[in-house]
Structure 1
């Protein structure tokens, strides 16, 4: 029902930190539930927890196993800044919608922080500032305009001149935007935490299970599996990440290949505050630090999803990332302790598609993440849980399938 991708190659840094185990059983009989969640990565975990919080019976399935897809490859910069700046997003969908998308993203990070605390998920959450530094796509002048656009939308943003950036962070660039209250965390511990909370509320997880067909009836949907068993559900949520199922539209969604390195721990050499750093450049560059002082640096994206081509570039991309990191922070030891490549989704606006699938009654999907995967997963869990419960989220149309992404 969808292409199976080799989602990552190499050794992601999160393998250095033990995550709690999440049990998934083989599917040996036909089962039924209120909601079937297809995919047990970050999005599926958040959705499952949100649904069980409402007292719904939930079954989660995955063709590999919990947290075995692209979850382990994410760099987990949980920030509200969408890949598409407000100034350019306004030209694509209109200023009011662009501002509201950014505000909802800001709210999602705040909500996620509170959710982690309320549920007691031990994922090493740390509040971090974020620096959006001048590059070959947005120079100092355009960054200043972007900072003003964010302020007009009610989002705090401080424009830093080249002098201030150098004095405060030791970075030699033409300018930057400084934002506050983003979130650094361990994505595997986060995902395991949500899944384990859902399991305590009697959610059932099965793997490896591959859904091959959805059969629609008046009051439910029957998921047929490659294992020869069926799952009957009142609703189905497709949280399959970058492996799009055939029923989900993909005209605004594309798969790209990205590359990442992580250094040895070196807390004493980090830049002030260990702020997230991302560059207004093409190719894209971003970095963050882990709780123990490793520097994760990624980017060098390529617009293809061929696994063999992607993997063949790992040595050259690893060397290039280490060199760029050294140029920005000469004091760092940039020799990679970990290096990996992964496949990630992007959309034409930088916004995800979340909600009911047109022509597919009772089926929801979460699609298209870019650099804000975990933030958008939080939004998805809010939108989907609210809708299935019979409520209405006022931002649903911003992210809906079939929306009109224009200035009209």
Structure 2
């Protein structure tokens, strides 16, 4: 059913930390539920938690297993700042829609933090500041314009000129934007925690179980799986990440690209002030954060291709480049990689995800989170899908749906 991708290669840093096990069973017979969720990564987990919280019976399947797709490859900078700067997004989709998208992204991060706290999920979550450094997309004057655009949208941000940036953070760049209220967390522990919460509400998990087809009628959806068993439901949710379903509606600005990342040994005493999330107003951009035990995770060097063999062969070369860039930015760090990995992720021209019912298939819902905001977009998707399945309409659903 899905276009299969080798989503990641190498050794992601998250395997240095034990995540809870999510028990799964084998799908050996036909079953029924209110909702079938295809995919047990972060998006599927958030949707499963939201729908079981609303009292729905849920069956989740994954052709690999829980936490085994692209979720493990994320660097987990959970930011409300969309990849496309607000000042750049406005000309593309209009001021009202751009401001709504940014405000909803900020709300999603706030809601996610509140939900993690409410459910008591232990995923090393911490609130972090964010530094957006001047680059080839926005220079110093561009960052000033971006701060003003955010202010007019009701989103606080502080412009840091060169001298203040160096004094406060020890970073030698022309300028930066300082933001507040973003998150750093362990994505595998969060995903496992959400799935286990859904499981306590009787959600059923089946893996390996590969969806091979979906048939939708006016009243129900049937998900066929490899080996024969079917799942009959009122609604299906496709949370398959960047492995698109054949027959999926054309997404003209969709692109799957390759990225690389490294993680250093723990070095808490060498970290920059407040361990702020750092990324660049550049294309492609460097992005980095610290873990709770002081490792520095840094990624970038994105390229526009999905050839897995070529991508994997570049791990050593790209790791060296990322380590060198990190050293130039923060000379005090030991930037030697202890972990190095690569993966594929999707992006769109606007940086916005696609979330909503598929054209001509009103009982089939797609969750396609893109760019550097995958976890944030997963939260938005859970809110939008829950509203739809409860007979309501999310006020921002039009920003992310098909077509647009």
Structures share a fold, TM > 0.5? yes
- Write the deviation string for residues 290-346 of structure 1: whole angstroms up to 9, x where unpaired: 000000000100111110111111111000000000001110000000000000010
- 1:70 pairs with 2:66: no
Give the corresponding residue for 1:3.
3
- Write the deviation string for residues 69-114 of structure 1: whole angstroms up to 9, x where unpaired: 0010000000100000011100100011000100000000000000
- 1:103 pairs with 2:99: no
Distance 1:376 1:343 in 2: 17
Unaligned runs of 5+ residues in structure 2 are none
- 1:292 pairs with 2:296: no
Partner of 2:356: helix, strand, or coil? Answer: strand
Native 8 Å contact 1:62 1:207 kept in 2:
yes
Give the corresponding residue for 2:220.
220
Q: CA deviation at 1:254?
A: 1.0
Distance 1:194 1:33 in 2: 19
Distance 1:295 1:385 in 2: 36
- 1:343 pairs with 2:344: yes
Give the corresponding residue for 1:317.
318
Map 1:88-127; keep pairs closer than 5 Å: 88-127=88-127
Give the corresponding residue for 1:13.
13
- Write the deviation string for residues 221-246 of structure 1: whole angstroms up to 9, x where unpaired: 11111121110010000000011112
Relative to the length of structure 2, the TM-score reads 0.99
Give the corresponding residue for 1:406.
none
Distance 1:117 1:248 in 2: 36
Map 1:258-297; keep pairs closer than 5 Å: 258-297=259-298
Native 8 Å contact 2:10 2:341 kept in 1:
yes
Partner of 1:390: helix, strand, or coil? Answer: coil
Distance 1:275 1:174 in 2: 18
Give the corresponding residue for 1:332.
333
Native 8 Å contact 1:248 1:365 kept in 2:
no
Native 8 Å contact 1:253 1:368 kept in 2:
no
Distance 1:113 1:320 in 2: 34
Unaligned runs of 5+ residues in structure 1 are 404-408
Partner of 1:116: helix, strand, or coil? Answer: helix
Q: CA deviation at 1:253?
A: 1.4
Map 1:244-259; keep pairs closer than 5 Å: 244-249=244-249, 250-259=251-260
Q: CA deviation at 1:252?
A: 2.4
Superposition misfits of 4+ residues, deviation over 4 angstroms: none
Give the corresponding residue for 2:27.
27
Native 8 Å contact 2:47 2:382 kept in 1:
yes
RMSD: 0.7
Native 8 Å contact 2:369 2:378 kept in 1:
no
Give the corresponding residue for 1:61.
61
- Write the deviation string for residues 133-168 of structure 1: whole angstroms up to 9, x where unpaired: 011221101011001100110000000000000000
Q: CA deviation at 1:360?
A: 1.1
Q: CA deviation at 1:248?
A: 2.5
Distance 1:373 1:247 in 2: 23
Distance 2:230 2:201 in 1: 22
Q: CA deviation at 1:369?
A: 1.3
Number of aligned positions between the proteins: 403
Map 1:154-169; keep pairs closer than 5 Å: 154-169=154-169
Partner of 1:362: helix, strand, or coil? Answer: strand
Give the corresponding residue for 1:197.
197
Distance 2:190 2:174 in 1: 36
Distance 2:97 2:284 in 1: 27
- Write the deviation string for residues 110-136 of structure 1: whole angstroms up to 9, x where unpaired: 000000000010001100000000112
Distance 1:392 1:221 in 2: 21
Native 8 Å contact 1:31 1:231 kept in 2:
yes
264-273 or 224-233: bigger deviation: 224-233
